[in-house]
Chain A
Amino acid sequence: MAMKRRAGAVLALFVTSALLASACTSGGDDEKAAESELFKNPVTLTWWHNASQDGPGKTYWEKVAKDFSAAHPTVKIEIEAIETNQLQRTRLPAALLSNDPPDIFQAWGGGEMREQVEADYLKDITDQVKSEVADIGSASEIWQVEGKQYGLPFRMGIEGIWYNKDMFARAGISAPPTTFEELNAAVTKLKAINVVPIALGAGDKWPAAHWWYNFALRACSVDTLKKATKDRTFDDPCFVKAGQDLKAFIDTKPFQNNFIATPGQNDPTSANGMLANGKAAMELMGDWNRGTLDTVATDKAALGKFLGWFPVPAISGSAGDPKAALGGGDGFACSKNAPAECVEFLKYIVSPEVQKGYAATGTGLPVAKGAADGVTDPALKSILESTASATYVQLWLDTAFGSTVGTAMNDAIVAIFAGNGTPEKVVSAMKAAASK
């Protein structure tokens, strides 16, 4: 009995201190804080972002926080830079569950954000960010749930094929492929000069899965994809077609040997290490690749000279829109009980001046109008142009469908790459995961 009471006391102590702590962090917060109340009381904003590796990205966010505090002395910003997987898979879910979340944090939009909104974790910022949303345009839709805005992107771009112009010239490929027939022809020519045509980091699963996503984007109509994102039903035969097209493509052997063990990025033996150091001619990857290629290249000047980019080729006679692209971005959201200053800081992050500086770091493409001037790299410029001319940008399918379906889908796609999966199994795995 005595023991029980003591355990109760300990628990009570925990609960009280947790309550006190949460009361402190949300101190002075009112859901509809009047404009005049803003920046009156000292607040500390905790900020979790994923630029955890030392480099221009991390340094730039430190500068942004410092500048904001300088302009608004009542606001102190505490940054925690956390590696993406840790942040998204363990730290953030745990922090949100424990009612002690960071005030402003990395949010990918899509399926995961939908779940967070349903659990009432996020601040509805629709009214405060109207002009920012208008400025950013359709990209901000990814951070909406049921028409309400819960976050804003600071980076957005589409995926395409990064390639080595020198190798293309040596192989006698005159222009970047625009159809898969042309891509297959290019692969054959590159093999003839004894280079790896396409580097693939299947070890990390998602770089391999992105090939399937692109085939799905070509095989499925935009309406089918939109419906699948919402209902998580995958009955349309185009999803099986995507796997069949992928299998046919893998059978042409365009990738390096042992791609199942190759990591995706960030080390010299990874797929983007192969492209960066002249060991492969192509790699399918998003706009952030410019920054990651730079970190693994032994000769950055050479990389800058030979690097080119072209959109994912079209498949003739398929249901999908040939001008549609696969893409995504990074954004931030404010937690439900964050002080009103959080939204102000979020607005500051996506303001044209901060976005211009972000563009200049070369770690990703900015979203705000007018910030595009900051982009100088030719490869990134061509992504900007393609993004602007894309008729539809589909969010990465694993993000759009949510992690549960996304993980099962990626695993089943990788099985096709490993030679023991089938196009049908991808769809059945997605259906099974949706019900798990």
Chain B
Amino acid sequence: MTSASQTRTPAGGALAPPAGLRPGARAASRRAETRRKWYEIIGLTTPAVLIYVLFVLVPMGFAFYYSLFRWRGVGPPTEYVGFRNYTLAFQDPIFLDALRNNAIIVFGSLLIQAPVALGIALLLNRRFRGRSAFRLLVFVPYVLAEVTVGIMWKLILTDGGTLDALLRSVGLGGLVQAWLADLDVVIWTLLFVLTWKYVGFAIILLLAGLSNVPPELNEAAEIDGASWWQIQRHVTLPLLGPTIRIWMFLSMIGSLQVFDMVWVTSVPAVRSLGASATMATYMVDNGFFARLWGYGNAVAVILFAISFVAALLFQRFLLSRDIEGAITRKGK
């Protein structure tokens, strides 16, 4: 970066006095260079920062501001209520249901996807005929749009749909459920569909991580007489650590904000009864449909705060080793 700037900006160089002519000239030229560096940083980042500020930070500020009002979205907000919307949210049993559902999806995703993805990734990492075809099959659900997947599963799981017909045809008619309507079942159905959709992503990441494991280590372990299982357990897995942690991070944030799949697959009644609501669907149902704009903004802020805190904690305690160097600290 610095050397490139030196060769690319002759104007700055020409302005700087020749080195060694008088005392302090070296320091002056270094100052000029620092200034040049800052101009460059400002020049290159300003457009991005502007867009970020205008479309991310400013709306976030507005969301917080509006969340302090009792506001129906008609006319400007005038009725300031402080943090009343926040207390109301935590008193609403449906919002607490939504929180619980988000927690189920976060932990369910981590606990189910991790072992499944790891197993499949380890299998696919070996050489065998048709390996690329298998890999492709695994990735397909992840590549599909979430809404498409949602509609597809809705058709499969609907009352009297494909799954019910299949179960009946193999004599398991007793298992038939209202998969998307039974208030106790729907969240697990959703978890299954989300797992089906996103396990491919975990596998992609893990395979990328596996390709970074040097084969010599495995060979060495093999020569030492370690079994396949021992090699995976003591050599491969520890080296996959960073990849697994990054995946956990992305999965957690995605699970907290899940919206599309729930919106598409579950009917409004089941959602509003709390059985399949998530924080994001709760926000839209209240903000837009009940026209509680101030309240909807409060829910948005809560969702943001929870995601943000979760991300910070995760970075602080689990990701810190992996991102060493990515964050510059003073004095290093």
Contacts and interface: CB of A to CB of B under 8 A. Distances in A.
Interface of A: 3, 6-7, 10, 85, 89-90, 93, 96-97, 112, 115-116, 118-121, 202-205, 208, 257-258, 260-263, 269, 402-404, 406-408, 410-411, 414-415, 417-418, 420, 433, 436
A86 to B, nearest CB: 9
B28 to A, nearest CB: 24
Output the residue of A118, A411, A415 with the most chain B CB within 10 A: A411
Interface in B93-114: 94
B159 A261 contact: yes
A436 B88 contact: yes
Given A89-B288, A408-B290, A414-B273, A260 B267 contact: yes
B75 interface: yes
A7 B272 contact: no
A406 B181 CA distance: 23
30 contacts: A3-B42, A6-B50, A10-B54, A89-B291, A90-B288, A97-B73, A115-B72, A116-B74, A118-B75, A119-B74, A121-B75, A204-B269, A258-B159, A258-B178, A258-B181, A260-B178, A260-B181, A261-B158, A261-B159, A261-B267, A407-B285, A407-B286, A407-B289, A407-B290, A408-B290, A410-B272, A411-B272, A433-B290, A436-B88, A436-B295
Interface string B230-273: 00000000000000000000000000000000000001111011
Label chain A's interface by main secondary structure.
helix
A96 B74 contact: yes
B147 interface: no
Output the residue of A97, A120, A208 with the most chain B CB within 10 A: A97
Shortest beta-carbon contacts, A-B, top 7: A261-B181, A119-B75, A203-B267, A407-B290, A403-B291, A89-B288, A119-B74
A204 B266 CA distance: 11
B88 to A, nearest CB: 7
B74 A415 contact: no
Contacts of B42: 3
Given A118-B74, A260-B181, A205 B269 contact: yes
A109 to B, nearest CB: 15
B73 A269 contact: no
Given A6-B46, A205-B268, A406-B290, 19 more contacts: A3-B46, A3-B50, A118-B75, A205-B272, A208-B269, A258-B178, A260-B178, A260-B183, A261-B181, A261-B270, A403-B291, A404-B290, A404-B291, A407-B286, A411-B272, A414-B269, A415-B273, A418-B269, A418-B273
Contacts of A119: 74-75
Contact of B292 (A97, A112, A418, A436): A436
B78 to A, nearest CB: 10
Contacts of A3: 42, 46, 49-50
Given A205-B272, A420-B273, A436 B54 contact: no
Given A404-B290, A414-B273, A115 B88 contact: no
B53 interface: yes
B70 interface: yes
A431 to B, nearest CB: 14
Nearest to A202: B269
A3 B180 CA distance: 51
Contacts of A410: 272
A93 B46 contact: no
A62 B50 CA distance: 43
A120 B74 CA distance: 9
A414 B183 CA distance: 13
Contacts of B180: 261
Contacts of A116: 74
Interface in B51-85: 53-54, 70, 72-75
Contacts of A436: 70, 88, 292, 295
A225 to B, nearest CB: 21
A290 B73 CA distance: 34
Contacts of B289: 85, 89, 403, 407
Contacts of B53: 7
Given A204-B268, A258-B159, A411 B273 contact: yes
A82 to B, nearest CB: 14
Output the residue of A116, A407, A417, A433 with the most chain B CB within 10 A: A407
B277 to A, nearest CB: 11
B165 to A, nearest CB: 14
Given A414-B272, A418-B269, A261 B178 contact: yes
Interface string B273-284: 100000000000
B17 to A, nearest CB: 27
Output the residue of B178, B183, B267, B295 with the most chain A CB within 10 A: B267
B273 A404 contact: no
Contacts of B291: 89, 93, 112, 402-404, 407
Contacts of A433: 290
Contacts of B268: 203-205
Interface string B18-49: 00000000000000000000000010001001
Nearest to A96: B74
